[in-house]
Every structure is written in structure tokens, then in C-alpha cells.
Amino acid sequence: MQIKIAPSILSADFSKMGEAIKNLNAAGADVIHCDVMDGSFVEPITFGGQMVKNIRPLTNLPLDCHLMIEHPKTQIKFFAEAGADIITVHYEACNKISPTYLRETLELIKSYGVKCGAVVNPDTDVEKIFPVFDLCDMVLIMSVFPGYGGQKFIPTALEQLKKAREYAVKMGRGDMDIEVDGGVTEANVGDIKAAGANVIVAGSTVFKSADMAATIAALKA
């Protein structure tokens, strides 16, 4: 399984976003994780499609847009047209609208030729998204409650990752991307990979480091 490190620009200084993207290119990041928050699904508001549009010309790395928003269908067009490579949406935001909304949203993302993924919070059993694994290019297991960077890793995420990887293998998709997000450090990344994650989001660990390239390499090794 190829391990990919996905620094989250949530931890960047938003007044220097262009510089942050260039630093991530140089530091060996594999993916750029864009945390989109709407002030409703989660308390803070971060940014929308315009940010993705503006950073798109600054990097060839895939832009992984994690939508922590209500009614995600309404925003897919903007992120797809802005140049997102993959868009992930929360089971919790979709399921409160209707039982079919998650599948419809994933299909909508794919209709733009963009990869898609489903996300579960730490208190949502990953089994809830098994029915849409067939559509997903990636699944995202939250290891903190979404909303803020710099939180502590919730260890039950390891069990969720194992279940997700086992199910992917069972359906003949053993090489599926399984992403983990929240509280990843050099100390816990070994257990996280052993549990089955191969796309590793890291916000504060990368941005607070004095040597971003060395930290990314250490998380990857």
C-alpha cells in the first residue's frame, strides 16, 4: 500500500496561503488536504471553492477537499469547477437529509469526473458507509471530532480503520485509499498505518514542525 501524507492547510497562516502551498510542494507532501467548514455542521467557518480555485495553479499535488458542511450537494459544483481532485462528504450531514442523499452526492461528484469519498465521525460506526464503498475512491475515518486542528487522537479510530480495510479487502478493493484525519503524530502514525490507513492527514504536526520535509518523511517512513 502506498502511504501518502496529506498536510491540512487548516493549520497554515491563511494570510500566507500561497507560500504555504509552495512550502508543501517542496517538503514532499503527497496530497493537500483542504478543510472546508460552514459554521453549521461544525462551529468554525474556513473557506469555500474560491480558495481551491486560487491554490490550484500553485501545485500539481492532488487537492483533497474535506467538506464539513450541511447540504453538501449544493457546493459540489463549486469545488469540482475550482479544480478539486477528490471531494469527501460526511455521512452524518447526508443521512439527516435522507437515506439516499450520501449516494446521490457521491454520484454527483463523480459526474464531474472528480474522485469521491465518504467520511465518518468518531462516533459513527464505519459500517454505516459500507453500502457506498462501491462508489468511493477513498473513505475517511475521523480520529477527532471535526472542527478544529490540534486535537488529541481518539484511539477507537484504529478499530474503525481495521474494519474499513477488512471490508475493502473483502469486496476485492484491498488497494482502496483509506484516510485518517485528526491528531496524527510521529508517535501514533505506526499504529495508524498498521490498522490499515494509507492516506494520512496531518495538520499541526506538519505546520508546527521546524523542518516540514523531515516531518513529512518521518510520517511516511
Task: Write out the catalytic residue numbers.
Answer: 35, 181
- The footprint of ligand DX5 on residues 152-181 (CB under 6 A) is 181
Distance CA 92, CA 115 (A): 20
Distance CA 17, CA 33 (A): 13
- On whether the CB atoms of residues 199 and 179 are closer than 8 A, the answer is yes
Residue 38 binds to Zn ion (criterion: CB under 5 A): no
Touching ligand DX5, residues 72-131 (CB under 6 A): none
CA neighbor of 64 nearest in space, from 179, 184, 188: 179
In the list 183, 189, 199, 219, the residue contacting ligand DX5 (rule: CB under 6 A) is: 183
Residue 177, beta-bridge partner list:
138
Count CB atoms within 10 A of the CB of residue 171: 12
Among 30, 32, 35, 189, binds ligand DX5 (CB under 6 A): 35
Binder of ligand DX5 out of 204, 212, 216, 219 (CB under 6 A) = 204
CB 114, CB 64: distance < 8 Å: no
What number of other Cβ atoms are within 10 A of residue 177's Cβ?
A: 22
Nearest approach, Cβ of 32 to ligand DX5 (angstroms)? 11
Which is closer to Zn ion, CB of 35 or CB of 38?
35
Give the nearest residue (CB) to ligand DX5.
203
Q: By the criterion CB under 6 A, which residues form the site for ligand DX5?
A: 8, 10-11, 33, 35, 66, 144, 146-151, 181-184, 201-205
Q: Which residues bind Zn ion (CB under 5 A)?
A: 35, 66, 181
